[in-house]
Amino acid sequence: MRRYEKTKEVVERESLVEMSCDLCGTKASRVCEWGDGWYDTNETEVSVTIKHREGCNYPECKMGTEREVDICPACFKNKLIPWLISQGAKIEEKDYDS
């Protein structure tokens, strides 16, 4: 014989509701996008993830700290790129058309 009981479960979710630049404080007009309008393109895309993790890594669990930076297009172009170049980065600028 099987006996069942009904229970209510409350699920709590975390949703991104706002994003701002960690350097200048500029807020994105839409979450996860730095554009000003539907047809405008002004975004910072991270296609390579650089992440620093520090802590413990056991087979049954992992714990520690990690760092993540949000950066607006203006700071990317006017602060990060010049700094990377000053550190010796060879950054190639390419035209695109689709």
Report domain extents, the chain: 19-36+48-89
Residue 64 has a CB neighbour count (10 Å cut-off) of 9
What is the pLDDT, as a whole number, of residue 89? 94
C-beta atoms surrounding 63 within 10 Å: 8
Average pLDDT of the chain?
79
| 88 backbone φψ class: left, alpha, beta (φ>0; ψ -120 to 50) | left
Q: At which residue do the structure tokens 């975004």 appear?
A: 43
pTM of the model as a whole = 0.56
Between 74 and 44, residue with greater pLDDT: 74
User: What tens digit of pLDDT does each residue of 44-65 get?
Assistant: 565 545 567 888 888 888 889 8
